């Protein structure tokens, strides 16, 4: 291989000169560097006739804001011929609401490209061109998967800047399974200009189609965040060819859904133990249960969630998966084989409840307990009507005639309840003292609001203190109103005021004062951030909140089921963005005199990814968009309600802290 610096020079040289030998035509045939250059040129020449430019047509509604004028969807990008008359590009070039694009052939001729198929899970689009255009194009040879090896040469080819010659970037294949098994990885420079173009091996065979797949394992979800970062992804061409008959028939291929949630939070180290099995999902129809641990998937051993996800993620709706699970039946365990057919979608999951609120627990002390202690019961809920009382312990659950499953954590109990729908009955074993009994609890829908007498009045404790959550890389550490150390695991509320932030000195003390008494009584740590820019909340403030929460966890045990964000005015809108950034760790969002941000994406809820959302409006009425936001959230399965208190001048501290306590409701 040529040295890295020489590879970079040649990436530039080929990009500028295409497949023409750039200043090295007289290289000796026995010069290794000359032979490499000739091999690169020959590989690009072999595939050049299959590489086209894609130009947008029409308007993408996604690119047009409420008051924006119509603009083109995107700039030019690249496409690759995959069959006679069929060109593959990416949704970056042809968004989902655009039905066609212009295909510019290597000769410079222009042809209409009509969308005939989409692969939503990989962001690919298939365009059909007419017979005259197809006759000018060549169909490249796919590189076999078994021929791929880390370290081999790769060439990322595009056709945007100069129609006559393709652009080329040279690198190596740096991984053969990325994006949860959907793609290979290269360190060749990949940009929007060559999305949709081929990643080629040294023999001119197409390894895959370059695509902006998200690197969600690194917290990158848009797919374009890796631009020019030395990391690029390509969907193997052999995988595309396999499903091409479906794509050519005008179908839209979607990712297959099994319908399970995991007990562990870390996909890289956690076992694939099922915490939630959605009612009516492929998993439920196949006979999977809460508490099952997947040990084999499609013949591959599974020891971690990541290994199971690498099997499931590349599959489409309608595909099947063969699983073997380890199932505990009382004191023994057995292996059970099941087959599930993956679904295209599931209806929005609406979180049910049986009316039990577990006692506060810290994440690091939850597992392994002999049951789940009941902290309190929801007034007039199923558990209250069945005679369940605070101090009782839930030791087992059963459903639909299945054997009882031991309950050793609040997370497992939450998973069992979450797999139900309102109206279905869960049989719960309750221990009180030395006596055990079973009760049937019919799940009901979660309430919208927290009644004033929901939980028992906590005993008064020592006054809360006001401190700074100092941590590395936080320019303006937030204040925290911190209950006494004897309070046990804490709920957490992050509150974004208006104007932005608690401020320093006297201003900070004034902002903290309304929270001190109620935070101590309700055992809630109230975090009061201060904006880096005193005029507005911004991206740096999200990072500061994440670091501050890490700092809080080093000081006190935190109950992971009771973490919420709230804010007033612009702070309320910003609270939603913070919840999106922090992910499932945030269990509730309260928007006071505020609406959702215009760019908010409301994803349908599912177990482990649902939030209790509260709105509150002043006497004069709230933003006109609030009613539409509430309806959109409800349609997607969110628990949505109004804060019972009408907003006054100060923060509704009492109501918000009681709501944080109620987030643990099961």
pLDDT tens for each residue of 477-491? 888 889 887 767 899
Answer yes or no: do 572 and 492 share one domain: yes
| Residue 473 belongs to domain with CATH number | 3.40.50.1820
What three-state secondary structure class fits 21?
Answer: coil
pLDDT digits (tens, 9 = 90+) for 326-353: 987 767 888 999 999 999 988 777 888 8
- Report pLDDT for 96: 81
- Per-residue pLDDT band for 637 (boundaries 50, 70, 90) equals confident
Both 425 and 541 in one domain: the answer is no
Give CA torsion, residues 280, 284, 286, 292, to 10 deg: 170
Write the DSSP assignment of 456-495 as a string of letters: PPPPP-SPPEEEE---TT-SSPPEEEE--GGG-SEEEEEE
Quick check: 520 pLDDT over 60?
yes
Mean pLDDT, residues 17-37: 52
336 and 362 housed in the same domain:
no
Q: Which of 527-531, 582-586, 593-597, 641-645 has the lowest mean pLDDT?
A: 641-645
**What pLDDT is recorded for position 460?**
64
CATH number, residue 409:
2.30.42.10
Residue 114 has pLDDT above 90, yes or no: yes
**Three-state secondary structure of 579-594:** HHHHHHHCCEEEEECC
Cα distance between residue 27 and residue 2, in whole Å: 15
Query: Are 208 and 179 in a shared domain?
Result: yes
pLDDT for 622 equals 63
Confidence of residue 208 (pLDDT cuts 50, 70, 90): very high
Residue at which a domain ends, from 205, 234, 253: 253
pLDDT of residue 224: 52
Helix or strand holding residue 528 (H, E)? strand 524-528
Beta strands 86-90 and 100-104 are unpaired
> At 103, is the secondary structure helix, strand, or coil?
strand
For residue 645, the Cα-to-chain-centroid distance in whole angstroms is 33
Nearest-angstrom CA–CA distance, 428 and 413:
10
Close Cβ partners of 236 (under 8 Å, ≥ 6 residues apart): 142, 145, 183, 184, 207, 208
Q: What is the mean pLDDT of residues 507-527?
A: 85
Instruction: Name the residue among 222, 227, 195 with its Cα closest to residue 74.
Output: 195
* Cβ neighbours for 401, distance < 8 A, ≥ 6 positions apart: none
Confidence of residue 454 (pLDDT cuts 50, 70, 90): low
Task: State the residue range of the domain holding 392.
Answer: 352-445
In the prediction, which pLDDT does 620 show? 62
Mean pLDDT of the 19-36 span: 52
* Pair 224, 176 in one domain: yes
Q: How far apart are CA 103 and CA 43, in angstroms?
A: 23
Domain match, 363 and 324 both: no
Is residue 381 in some structural domain? yes
Q: Is the pLDDT of residue 634 over 50?
A: yes
236 and 300 inside one domain: no
Q: What CA–CA distance (Å, rounded) separates 535 from 619? A: 26
pLDDT at 237 over 90: yes
433: left (phi over 0), alpha (psi -120 to 50) or beta: left
Q: What is the mean pLDDT of the chain?
A: 82
In this predicted model, what pLDDT tens digit does every residue of 580-590 receive, in sequence order?
888 888 999 99
pLDDT value at 72 more than 90: no
Q: How far is it, in rounded angstroms, from Cα 258 to Cα 116?
A: 27
> Given this model, what pLDDT does residue 206 score?
95
* pLDDT tens sequence across 356-413: 988 887 554 444 457 889 988 998 889 899 999 999 999 888 876 667 778 877 877 8
Residue 459 in any domain: the answer is: no
Least confident among 139-153, 348-362, 522-536: 348-362
| Range with lowest mean pLDDT among 18-22, 363-367, 429-433, 575-579 | 18-22
Length reported for the chain: 666
A 10 A CB-CB count for 70 gives 10
Confidence of residue 26 (pLDDT cuts 50, 70, 90): very low
Asked if pLDDT for residue 304 goes beyond 80, the answer is yes
Residues 480 and 558 in one domain: yes
pLDDT exceeds 70 at position 58? no
Decide if 113 is inside a domain: yes
| Better pLDDT: 50 or 345 | 50
Among candidate residues 341, 375, 406, the one where a domain is terminated: 341
HSE, side-chain direction, 13 A CA sphere, residue 354 = 27
Kindly state whether residues 607 and 582 are assigned to the same domain. yes
Q: Is residue 453 part of a domain?
A: no
Could you tell me the end-to-end alpha-carbon distance of the chain, in angstroms, rounded to an integer? 60
In which band, very low, low, confident or very high, does the pLDDT at 4 lie, cut at 50, 70 and 90? Answer: very low
Per-residue pLDDT tens over the stretch 163-194: 888 999 999 999 998 888 899 999 998 888 88
Whether the pLDDT of residue 302 is over 90: the answer is yes
- 452 within some domain: no
Q: Does 586 share its domain with 654?
A: yes
H/E/C letters for each residue in 270-330? CCCEEEEECCCCHHHHHCCCCCCEEEEECCEECCCHHHHHHHHCCCECCCEEEEEEEEEEC
Angle of helix 32-47 relative to helix 4-17, nearest 10 degrees, comes to: 40
Give the separation between CA 542 and CA 652, rounded to whole angstroms.
23
Looking at the fold, whether 410 and 539 belong to one and the same domain comes out as: no
- Could you tell me the CATH number of the domain that includes residue 60? 2.40.10.120
* Longest CA–CA separation in the chain, Å: 92
- Give buried/exposed letters for 628-645 (b at 16+ CB in 10 A, else e): ebbeebbebbbbbbebbe
CA atoms within 13 A on the CB side of 63: 19
Tell me, yes or no, whether 439 lies in a domain.
yes
What is d(CA 432, CA 411) in angstroms, rounded to the nearest whole number? 21
Q: Is residue 347 part of a domain?
A: no
pLDDT-above-90 percentage for the chain: 35
469, 552 contact by CB (below 8 A): yes
Q: How far is CA 444 from the centre of its chain?
A: 28
Q: How many domains does the chain have?
A: 4
Same domain, 304 and 247: no
Beta pairing partners, 612: 588, 639
DSSP label at 59? B
In a domain, 346, yes or no: no
The CA R_g of the chain, rounded to the nearest whole Å, is 29
Position 659 pLDDT exceeds 60: yes
Of 293, 310, 341, which one is at a domain's C-terminal end? 341
Phi, psi of 48 (to 5 degrees): -55, -35
Least confident of 173-177, 281-285, 424-428: 424-428
| Nearest Cα to Cα of residue 365 among 497, 560, 539 | 560
For range 486-499, the mean pLDDT: 84
């Amino acid at each position: 291989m040529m040295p890295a610096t020489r590879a970079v020079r040649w990436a530039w040289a080929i990009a500028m000169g295409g497949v023409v030998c750039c200043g090295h035509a007289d290289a000796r045939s026995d010069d290794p560097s000359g032979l490499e250059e000739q091999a690169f040129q020959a590989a690009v020449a072999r595939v050049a006739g299959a590489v086209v430019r894609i130009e947008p047509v029409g308007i993408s509604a996604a690119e047009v804001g409420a008051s924006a004028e119509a603009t083109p969807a995107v700039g030019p990008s690249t496409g690759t011929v995959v069959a006679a008359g069929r060109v593959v590009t990416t949704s970056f070039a042809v968004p989902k609401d655009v039905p066609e694009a212009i295909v510019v052939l290597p000769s410079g001729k222009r042809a209409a490209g009509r969308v005939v198929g989409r692969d939503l899970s990989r962001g690919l689009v298939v365009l059909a061109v007419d017979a005259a255009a197809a006759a000018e194009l060549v169909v490249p040879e796919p590189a076999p998967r078994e021929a791929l090896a880390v370290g081999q040469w790769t060439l990322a080819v595009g056709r945007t800047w100069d129609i006559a010659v393709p652009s080329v970037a040279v690198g190596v294949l740096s991984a053969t399974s990325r994006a949860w098994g959907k793609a290979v990885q290269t360190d060749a420079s990949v940009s929007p200009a060559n999305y949709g173009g081929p990643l080629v091996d040294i023999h001119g065979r197409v390894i895959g189609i370059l695509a902006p797949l998200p690197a969600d394992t690194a917290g990158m979800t848009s797919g374009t965040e890796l631009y020019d970062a030395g990391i690029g992804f390509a969907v193997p061409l052999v995988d595309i060819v396999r499903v091409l008959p479906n794509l050519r028939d005008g179908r839209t291929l979607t990712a297959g859904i099994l319908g399970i949630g995991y007990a562990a939070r870390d996909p890289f180290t956690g076992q694939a133990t099922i915490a939630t099995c959605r009612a009516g999902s492929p998993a439920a129809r196949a006979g999977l249960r809460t508490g099952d641990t997947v040990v084999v998937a499609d013949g591959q051993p599974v020891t971690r969630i990541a290994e199971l996800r690498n099997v499931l993620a590349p599959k489409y709706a309608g595909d099947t998966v063969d699983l073997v699970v380890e199932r505990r039946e009382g004191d023994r365990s057995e292996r059970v084989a099941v087959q599930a057919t993956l679904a295209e979608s599931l209806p929005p999951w609406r979180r049910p409840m049986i009316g039990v609120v577990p006692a506060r627990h810290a994440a690091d002390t939850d597992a392994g307990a002999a049951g789940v202690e009941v902290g309190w019961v929801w007034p007039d809920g199923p558990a209250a009507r069945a005679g369940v009382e605070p101090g009782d312990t839930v030791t087992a659950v059963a459903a639909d005639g299945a054997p009882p499953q031991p309950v050793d954590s609040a997370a497992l109990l939450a998973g069992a309840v979450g797999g139900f729908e309102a109206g279905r009955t869960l049989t719960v074993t309750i221990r009180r003292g030395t006596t055990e009994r079973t009760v049937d609890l019919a799940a009901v829908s979660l309430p919208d609001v927290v009644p004033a007498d929901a939980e028992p009045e906590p005993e008064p404790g020592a006054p809360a203190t006001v401190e700074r959550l100092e941590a590395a890389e936080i320019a303006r550490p937030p204040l925290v109103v911190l209950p006494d150390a004897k309070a046990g695991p804490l709920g957490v509320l992050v509150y974004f005021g208006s104007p932005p932030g608690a401020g320093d000195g006297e201003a900070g003390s004034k902002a903290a004062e309304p929270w001190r008494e109620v935070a101590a009584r309700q055992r809630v740590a109230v975090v009061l951030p201060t904006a880096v820019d005193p005029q507005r909340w911004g991206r740096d403030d999200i990072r500061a909140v994440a670091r501050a929460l890490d700092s809080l966890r080093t000081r006190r045990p935190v109950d992971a089921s009771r973490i919420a964000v709230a804010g007033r005015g612009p702070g309320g809108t910003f609270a939603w963005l913070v919840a999106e950034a922090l992910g499932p760790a945030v269990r509730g969002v309260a928007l006071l005199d505020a609406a959702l941000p215009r760019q908010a994406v409301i994803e349908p809820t599912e177990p482990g990814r649902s939030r209790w959302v509260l709105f509150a409006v002043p006497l004069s009425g709230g933003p006109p968009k609030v009613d539409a936001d509430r309806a959109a959230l409800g349609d997607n399965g969110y628990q949505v309600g109004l804060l019972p208190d009408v907003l006054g001048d100060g923060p509704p501290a009492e109501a918000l802290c009681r709501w944080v306590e109620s987030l643990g409701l099961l």
